[in-house]
Amino acid sequence: MATKKKSAKLLRCPTCAQLVQFSDEDFPFCSDRCRKIDLGKWASGVYKISSPILDPDVLEDLGGMGGDRGSNDE
Ligand SMILES: [Zn+2]
């Protein structure tokens, strides 16, 4: 028999695999930081990084180098 799920949807953050609630403003990421890290992966990782980098600061640095920082408002 099927297990009834709760109304709250959960997904794992693509960056750090933490559980994220559907209602979270940064869904499907657990935080704005993880969202930027993921974007950085796509922006720079596809071209020159073939092995996973676990240091978020490195990824943020790469992300800042590649594109404009117009949306990096914190
Ligand atoms: Zn995360």
- The average pLDDT across 66-70 equals 55
Which domains, and CATH codes, for the chain?
10-66 (3.30.50)
Cα of 1 vs centre of ligand 1, distance in Å, is: 33
- The average pLDDT across 2-28 equals 84
pLDDT in tens, 17-58: 999 999 999 999 999 999 999 888 777 755 555 566 667 776
pLDDT at 13 over 90: yes
Instruction: Determine the pLDDT at residue 58.
Output: 65
pLDDT at 64 over 70: no
* Nearby residues for ligand 1 (ion, Cβ within 5 Å): 13, 15-16, 18, 30, 34
Cα of 18 vs centre of ligand 1, distance in Å, is: 6
Sign for the CA dihedral angle at 11, 17, 23, 27 comes to negative
Cα of 15 vs centre of ligand 1, distance in Å, is: 5
Cα of 2 vs centre of ligand 1, distance in Å, is: 29
Q: For every residue of the chain, which 3-state class applies, written as one string?
A: CCCCCCCCCEEECCCCCCEEECCCCCCCCCCHHHHHHHHHHHHHHHHHCCCCCCCHHHHHHHHHHHCCCCCCCC
